[in-house]
Amino acid sequence: MRPLFLLALIALPVVGACTHGTRVATLGPATAPEGFHAWFRAKGDTVHHFGELFAVDQTAFLIRTDRIRRIPWARLEYLNVDKVGNNFDVKVNQRPDSAKVERLRLSSRFPQGLSGPLLAQVLAMLKQDAVEELP
């Protein structure tokens, strides 16, 4: 009887710890074909924008706000990814390292990238002529 009691005392905190944190049911990209959502601001901009990460590469990211926009990392002031913690955020005036870019890429709607015919199809569905570029 005593070993079972000790096992229960050890297992109870471990089992209880499994109930904290993000759940698959509440994480959009785990339940639907969407990317993480994020707040961001470009350098020189006066407003914060919120949108869905569409695609990410080493030079820029595509985000869907009211339009699909391409934001070069060099133009980014900050990026705060919603509901997933600091491992995905880009701090003020810092460029993300390659590991963070890879995490963001895998968390976007189009982790394989968005260009060519696929981009044309997405733009047509959204009634947008071209990706809005930030210089």
In a domain? residue 33: yes
- CATH of residue 82's domain is 2.30.30
In a domain? residue 15: no
Residue 107, domain extent = 26-133
8-36 residue pLDDT tens: 556 555 555 555 555 555 444 555 567 89
In a domain? residue 5: no
Q: Which region among 31-40, 43-52, 70-79, 98-107 has the lowest average model confidence (pLDDT)?
A: 31-40
Determine the pLDDT at residue 22: 54
CB 59 within 8 A of CB 73: yes
Number of separate domains in the chain: 1
In a domain? residue 3: no
86-109 residue pLDDT tens: 878 899 888 899 999 999 999 999
In a domain? residue 8: no
Question: What CA dihedral angle connects 116, 102, 55 and 135, to 10 degrees?
Answer: -90
In a domain? residue 16: no
